Chain A
C-alpha cells in the first residue's frame, strides 16, 4: 500500500458475527482518497438500489482518510456514511474528536458494518484485533454513561468511541452518531441506522503510525499550512469564541434564524452571542485532534435551574436553534439543551428546528396544549420546550410523530401545518435563506439534503467584494445574495472543495471555510503528495471533487431523488410566501420561479437533466463515471 493510508478495510457482518479484513485497492484509494468519497463509492457499489436504511443489507460506514491522524491541520475528522432514514438519500455526516486518527492507528481506513445483531452489541477494535461484544448492559445508557462504562470495562482511558444514545436506539430519524462524548455527526440520522443494527458503540485503540512518503517534505508542507492559519485574523477570533461568533454578524445582516424563521433579528441576541456565552459559561477551550484553532469550548452553567450543567462544543447552530428560534435569550438554557442532545445523541439542528415549528403551530392555534401533552409552547417558555425535547427523545405523545422527521409529521398534521415547515427532504436548515439565492441553492443541492456544510457560499454571506466576484466568476453580482447570477458556480466552488476536506479527512475550518486565504487546494495537494507519494495537483483534486459530487447525485437519483427533491417540502410557503416583518430583510421572499431557474442551471452545470434531475450519459462520462452511467441506464434512470 502507498503511504498515508492504513491499507485495510475492516468488514463486520453483525448478522453472522463475521469479521474480515480486506485490502484497500491502491487504485481506488488514489482516486477516492477516503472518508466521504470512498465511503460513498462503497455504499453505491455494495448496497442494492432502493434498500431501506433499516434493512439488514444497509451498510453503516465509519471512515478516515489518508490525511487523518497526521500533521495536516485539523486532521481528526471521522466520516459517517450510510443512507439517511430522515431524507431517504445519502446520509453522510462528519465529526471531530479523536476517533478517526485512532482508527488509522489501529490499522484501518474504514469500518464497513452490515447486518443486524440479534442482541445489543458493541465493537472493540484493539490494534487490528477485532471483537464483537455484548452490550445489553449499555443499552439504554446515554452517551456519556456508555463511554465511561466501556472505558472502564476495557481498562484504557485512551480508547476512542463512536456511539449512539437512547435516540439512536429508538430509531429517531435525526439521531446522531456521537464521536467521543460531545462531537456529533449530527445530520441525516445516521445514529438511527446504527441503532437498527443493534450496535451501541464502536471502541478503538491503536499504536501503529502513519509514515509519510517524504517525512521532511510533508513536515514542511504541513508547517506552512499551520503558519498560514495562524496569520488569519478570523483564526484568532474562532479560537477565542468558536462559531457563536456568527450570532452578531447574522443579527446585523438580518438573517438570524428567529421564531421558526418568522424574523431575521432577535431582540435578545446580545444575551446569547459569543461574548455572552464565553462570559457566562466558559471554562476553557478544547481542541479536536491536532487542531491549531481549537474552536470548541468547555462550558459550565454557574447559576439558575440548570446550575452544574457541563458540556462542550456548543456551536452557532445550537445557539440559534435553542435560543433565537425558541425566543429564549438564556445561554444557560441553550447549554442545558446542548448537554441533553449530546447525552441522548440527537441532532441539535433538527431537534431545535422541529420544536420551533411546533411552537409556531401553537402560536397560530393549529396545535393546542391538549395535542402537546399539556405543554404551553409560548415562545420563551423554557420548561415547556425542555419538556418537548424529552418527549421527542422518549417518543412520547407528539414526540413519536416528530421523531419521524418533518415530512412525515407534516403529512400527519395537514396542509395548514405544512405551510410552516422549513425542510427539504425532511431535513431542516440551520439558516434562514429567504430571498438569498446562493445560500438557498446550497441547501437545495446538498447531496445530503437540506444543509449548509456542503456548499454554503461564504463570500455571499460576507457580502463579498464585487471586484473579487468579477475576477473569480466573471460577474460582479456573483456574491450578491438577492440575484441568481453565477450562483451554481459559487456553490460548486465550495461543494467540490468540501468533498476533498471530508475525504482527506480534515476540518473545513482549517481550510477555506472561514477565509479564502486559508489552506487551499494547492496547499492540500502539496501535503497530500508528500504524504502519499502520489502526484496530486490543485486541478486533480478539483476534478475529484466534481466526479465524487456527480457520483453522490447519481446515488441520490437512484434512491429516488427526482426534480421535486430539489424543491422545498410542501411547496415551501415558509420561504416563498412568508416574510420578515422587520429588519433589513423585511418583506423579502424567495421567488419560486427564480429559485427553479437557478436549480435548473445548477443541474445542467453538473451534467444532470433539469426536468427529471436524472443524470445524462455525457454528464457522467465526462468525469470518468461510465460504469455508473451504465448502471443508471440499466435502471432506466439515464437521460441519453
Chain B
C-alpha cells in the first residue's frame, strides 16, 4: 500500500501494512506483568492502575484476558470525539492516539469504547490508552509467556488458521494413525 492511499482525510481508514497486538488467551497466565511494564514505560512508575493494558481475570474460571485498545478500523472513540484533532490516527503505526494538547477530558470515548480499553489516569486526570509504544510495544517485549505478539495486519489469523487445521493435517498425513494436537475449538 502506498502512503497516499492509506491516508483519507488525514486518518488511515485502510490500515493494511500496520501491526497490531494479538492476544493468545491460552498462553496468558494472568501475571499482570504487561500492566507493570506498560505503566513504567508511560509514567516511570510501577503502578498497574496507570497502565494502558489491563488483564481481566476470572480466577475461578481460569480466564485471563489482557484488554487494550484495538485501534479499530472504525473507531467509535473518534466518531464521538467533539474536538477536532484530539483523537487521531498515527500515520506510522496506525495507532489511535489522544492529543493531550487538544483533548478536553470529556470521556465520551470512554463511554463508547466496546472494550473499556480507554481509561483515566488518576494523578494527571488525562485520558489514557494504548499507543503501541510507537511501534515497539513494551508489553509484547516483556511478556514471557508469548501471550502477546505484535503481528502485521495481513498475518493476523494465520496462527489460528494453522492451529485449526492441525488435526486435519495429521489425519491426512497419516490416515488411520493417532491424532495429536489440539482439537478445533
A interface, CB within 8 angstroms of B: 69-71, 76, 98, 101, 105, 144, 148, 157, 180-181, 206-212, 215, 219, 223, 226, 229-230, 239, 283-294, 296, 298, 310, 312
Contacts and interface: CB of A to CB of B under 8 A. Distances in A.
The 6 closest A-B pairs by CB, nearest first: A209-B47, A287-B31, A292-B144, A209-B45, A287-B29, A294-B29
B50 interface: yes
Contacts of A206: 49
B3 interface: no
A313 to B, nearest CB: 11
A230 B144 contact: yes
Interface string B37-53: 10110011111111000
B62 A69 contact: no
B110 interface: no
Contacts of A285: 27, 29, 145
Given A284-B26, A284-B29, A286-B62, A210 B45 contact: yes
Interface range on chain B: under 10, 10 to 19, 20 to 34, or 35 or more? 20 to 34
Contacts of A294: 29, 31, 144-145
B59 interface: yes
Contacts of B49: 105, 206-207, 209
Given A181-B59, A286-B30, A208 B47 contact: yes
B122 interface: yes
A105 B31 contact: no
A476 to B, nearest CB: 37
Interface of B: 26-27, 29-33, 36-37, 39-40, 43-50, 57, 59-60, 62, 64, 122, 142, 144-145
Which of B26, B142, B144: most chain A Cβ within 10 A? B144
Nearest to A285: B29
A294 B27 CA distance: 11
A76 B46 CA distance: 12
A98 B59 CA distance: 12
A69 B47 CA distance: 8
A310 B45 contact: no
Given A181-B59, A284-B29, A71 B47 contact: no
A207 B36 contact: no
Contacts, number: 91
Contact of B40 (A208, A215, A226, A310): A215
Given A69-B46, A207-B47, A211-B44, 12 more contacts: A71-B37, A206-B49, A209-B45, A210-B47, A215-B44, A215-B45, A223-B142, A239-B145, A286-B62, A291-B29, A294-B29, A312-B62
B30 A70 contact: no
Contact of B48 (A105, A180, A212): A105
B47 to A, nearest CB: 3
Contacts of B37: 71, 219
Given A207-B122, A294-B145, A310-B60, A70 B31 contact: no
B64 to A, nearest CB: 8
A23 to B, nearest CB: 21
Contact of A212 (B30, B44, B64): B44
Which of B40, B122, B142: most chain A Cβ within 10 A? B40
A563 to B, nearest CB: 44
Given A226-B142, A310-B60, A290 B47 contact: no
A312 B40 CA distance: 30
Nearest to A294: B29
B46 A298 contact: no
Nearest to B122: A207
Which of B43, B45, B59, B122: most chain A Cβ within 10 A? B59
B112 to A, nearest CB: 22
A467 to B, nearest CB: 32
A299 to B, nearest CB: 9
B29 to A, nearest CB: 4
B56 to A, nearest CB: 8
Nearest to B45: A209
B33 A291 contact: yes
A194 B45 CA distance: 33
Contacts of B46: 69-71, 209-212
Contacts of A283: 62
A548 to B, nearest CB: 25
B142 A180 contact: no
Contacts of B122: 207
A286 B33 CA distance: 12
Nearest to A229: B144
A212 B46 CA distance: 8
A361 B36 CA distance: 52
Contact of B31 (A209, A229, A284, A288): A288
A105 B47 contact: yes
A223 B144 CA distance: 11
Contacts of B59: 180-181
A567 B43 CA distance: 53
Given A209-B50, A298-B62, A290 B45 contact: no
Contacts of B27: 285
A71 B144 contact: no
Contacts of A229: 144
